[in-house]
Amino acid sequence: MTADLRRPPALRPGDRVAVLAPASPIAGDAFERGITELRGLGFEPVFDERALASTGYLAGSAEQRAAAFRQAWDDPDIAGIVAVRGGYGSAQLLPLLDAAALRSTAKPVLGCSDLTALLAYLTTGCGVVGFHGPMLVTLARGADGYDRASLLGCLAVPEPLGALRPPGVEAVRRGTARGMLLGGTLALLAASLGTPFAFSPPEGYVLFLDDVGERPYRIDRMLTQLRQSGLLGAASAVVLAEFPDCSDGTGRDARSVCGDLLADFRGPVLFGFPSGHTSGPALTLPFGVTVTVAADANPGLIVEEAAVA
């Protein structure tokens, strides 16, 4: 992994954006509503029947999903890629992609949840900035689902996004730290370890973690795995998302488990940052650029570098 990740070109009004299904299929009318929202953002969605494919819990075979991704990446008329949803299956694509080809033609890839497998591969495996943000199923909810300003600020403006201090974020451990922002869904990062596509951030990075519907003991197990692998020790700060539906009915939840396990962490820790799985509009975060974590009376992130060129 290089110290400086390659920034893709900024999206412009009218750009063609590929809508792909790298993981699970999308259901109901969310597809059409998401397409309408993408057009409202000023982009031209491009898709074919593969975006609506369904084979059980997967949107087609790994070969079909990887072929759609490679085709969109290699097409000079496609400016970016948006996933329809998460679920499961993105990691199956990784052996079928070429890191050198991905780095040589950098494009914005937008997604979260199961798309963490692709984002982690793009950032720490290929050296390309990725975007932890809404997918088509989230865009379909309009302003209730995602934050328009941070989405366009990340993808369409070649300037630093600046300060993100949303309400409800808690400083679990106070302090200030600076580093490259990387991470994603906790379960996917933990599952990558021991594979050729393991999450491999540089020393001093800022670790962002998100998840949904996990029992507290499972969060404990996965955070312990990150600690024992050395990934926690390499981080200068930890930013935790909202972790909705992560309680067991006994008073234990993600906040209490993370607070206990990170009590001796060396740097600042935030909890409740609304990106990925959220109860309200989800912010878009650029993975692979330098940020400052401010865990103070007004906690948040300051994005110091442009994510696009």
DSSP code per residue over 223-287: HHHHHHHTHHHHEEEEEE---TT-B-SSS-BHHHHHHHHTTT-SS-EEE---SSS-SSPBPPEEE
Question: How far, in Å, CA of 86 to CA of 114, rounded?
Answer: 5
Helix axis angle, 216-229 relative to 254-261, nearest 10°? 30
Question: How far, in Å, CA of 84 to CA of 138, rounded?
Answer: 9
Sorted by where each starts, the structural domains of the chain and their CATH numbers stand as 16-155 (3.40.50.10740), 162-303 (3.50.30.60)
Give residue 154's pLDDT. 98
Judging by DSSP bridges, how do beta strands 109-111 and 205-210 pair with one another?
Answer: unpaired
Give the Cα-Cα-Cα angle 174, 170, 217 (nearest 5 degrees).
100
Question: How far, in Å, CA of 47 to CA of 81, rounded?
Answer: 10
Q: What's the number of CA atoms in the CB half-sphere (13 Å) around residue 186? A: 29
Give residue 3's pLDDT. 58
Backbone angles phi, psi at 46, to 5 degrees: -125, 130
Per-residue confidence of the chain (309 residues) as pLDDT tens digits? 445 899 999 999 999 999 999 999 998 899 999 999 999 999 999 999 999 999 999 999 999 999 999 999 999 999 999 999 999 999 999 999 999 999 999 999 999 999 999 999 999 999 999 999 999 999 999 999 999 999 999 999 999 999 999 999 999 999 999 999 999 999 999 999 999 999 999 999 999 999 999 999 999 999 999 999 999 999 999 999 999 999 998 889 999 999 999 999 999 999 999 999 999 999 999 999 999 999 999 999 999 999 999
Is the pTM for the entire model greater than 0.85? Answer: yes
Q: What's the number of CA atoms in the CB half-sphere (13 Å) around residue 114? A: 20
- Per the CB < 8 A criterion, the answer to whether 121 and 197 are in contact is yes
